[in-house]
Amino acid sequence: MLVRLQSAIGRDDLIGQMVLLPEPKKPFSQKDHKAESVSLIVGYDASPNSHTALDIAFWIAHQTRLATNVQVTVQAVYVVENNYSSQYPGVLSFAKPVPTLECPVSEVSHSFTPVLTPAKLRGISSCLQENPTTHLQQADIILWQARSLAEEWEGSFKSHLRFGCVGTELTKVVESEAADVLFLGCKSVNHPIIQTLGANFPCGVLGIPNRID
């Protein structure tokens, strides 16, 4: 996928810039298995860097579908972090502290209504007493932006709203969705969030290039 991207924009240095964590080695029995579908996860919060990561993911998904006829799904994940002063500025910036919960949002493309059951809303209501709708409205706006971009690409898309630690929640989504690649708005392997994910992360992690002329 990255070789195709390099060729399309006339660059030969993107792989070295974008691969922040390599794809884990697969057992020998899985090496020749032909994928019937591909899942691309994007850590998204509407910041410029995360928007670039989402753009790249949609482009790669589109080109992969054209070249292979494989079903490719792009999934945006927005995490409301426990720590108000985010550890990951410029990549994922989050709101006030909330409990560790998870709420899938918009499980199918073309859906713009968050799926939040009354039980889930009661679970976070105690943390939203000052303004019960602010955090959910902010999250819905952010994920709406991602869904709107997905509409332009006419591809398969899902979005997730998660509550808790960024690294932990991204790992949970990657594992539950059997993701092939995680895209983040990072430019360096030394970024704190990459250090948090660790060397044994279940899929390859891609960042964004330092510069595209």
The pLDDT value recorded for residue 179 is 95
How far is residue 107's CA from residue 84's CA, in Å, rounded to a whole number?
Answer: 28
How far is residue 12's CA from residue 1's CA, in Å, rounded to a whole number?
Answer: 13
Q: What is the mean pLDDT of residues 55-76?
A: 90
CA angle 152, 158, 162 (to 5 degrees): 130
196, 43 Cβ separation under 8 angstroms: no
Q: Which of 81-90, 92-101, 135-144, 201-210 has the highest mean pLDDT?
A: 201-210
193, 167 Cβ separation under 8 angstroms: yes
The pLDDT tens digits of the residues spanning 93-123 come to 333 333 334 444 443 333 333 344 444 444 4
Pair of tokens at residue 57: 């993911």
* % of residues, the chain, pLDDT over 90: 31
Kindly report the average pLDDT of the chain as a whole number: 76
How far is residue 30's CA from residue 128's CA, in Å, rounded to a whole number?
Answer: 46
